[in-house]
Amino acid sequence: MQAIFKLYREGFSQSVEVGELFDYKDESYVLTHILEMKRLYSKSSRIEVEGIAQKIDSQSDYSKYEPTSLFERKYIKCEFTNENPLYRVGDPFVFKGVCGQVECIESIRYEFVDMVIKYRARLFRPWSKAEMDQAVKNYRMSKFKVIG
Give residue-wise pLDDT tens across range 55-109: 998 877 788 888 898 999 999 999 999 889 999 999 999 888 899 999 999 999 9
Does 40 have pLDDT greater than 80? no
The reply to whether 108 falls in a domain is yes
Q: How many other C-beta atoms lie within 10 A of the C-beta of residue 35?
A: 16
Give the pTM. 0.81
The reply to whether 148 falls in a domain is no
Residue 9 sits in the same domain as residue 50: yes
Structural domain including 104 reads 62-123
Q: What is the mean pLDDT of residues 110-125?
A: 95
Residue 130 sits in the same domain as residue 117: no
Average pLDDT, the chain: 89
The reply to whether 40 falls in a domain is yes
Annotate the chain with DSSP letters as a single string.
Answer: -EEEEEEEE-STT----TT-EEEETTEEEEEEEEEEEEEESTTS-EEEEEEEEEETT----GGGS-SEEEEEEEEGGG---SSSPPP-TT-EEEETTEEEEEEEEEEEEEETTEEEEEEEEEEPPPPPHHHHHHHHHHHHHHT-----
The reply to whether 147 falls in a domain is no
Residue 14 sits in the same domain as residue 53: yes
Does 143 have pLDDT greater than 70? yes
The reply to whether 101 falls in a domain is yes
The reply to whether 80 falls in a domain is yes
The tally of domains found in the chain comes to: 2
The reply to whether 84 falls in a domain is yes
Residue 28 sits in the same domain as residue 51: yes
Residue 10 sits in the same domain as residue 42: yes
Does 43 have pLDDT greater than 80? no
Q: What is the mean pLDDT of residues 2-10?
A: 92
Does 18 have pLDDT greater than 80? yes
What is the C-alpha to C-alpha distance for residues 146 and 40, in angstroms, rounded to an integer? 36
Percent of the chain with pLDDT over 70: 94
Q: Quick one: which of 33, 126, 123 has its CA closest to 70? A: 123
Residue 104 sits in the same domain as residue 117: yes
Residue 131 sits in the same domain as residue 103: no
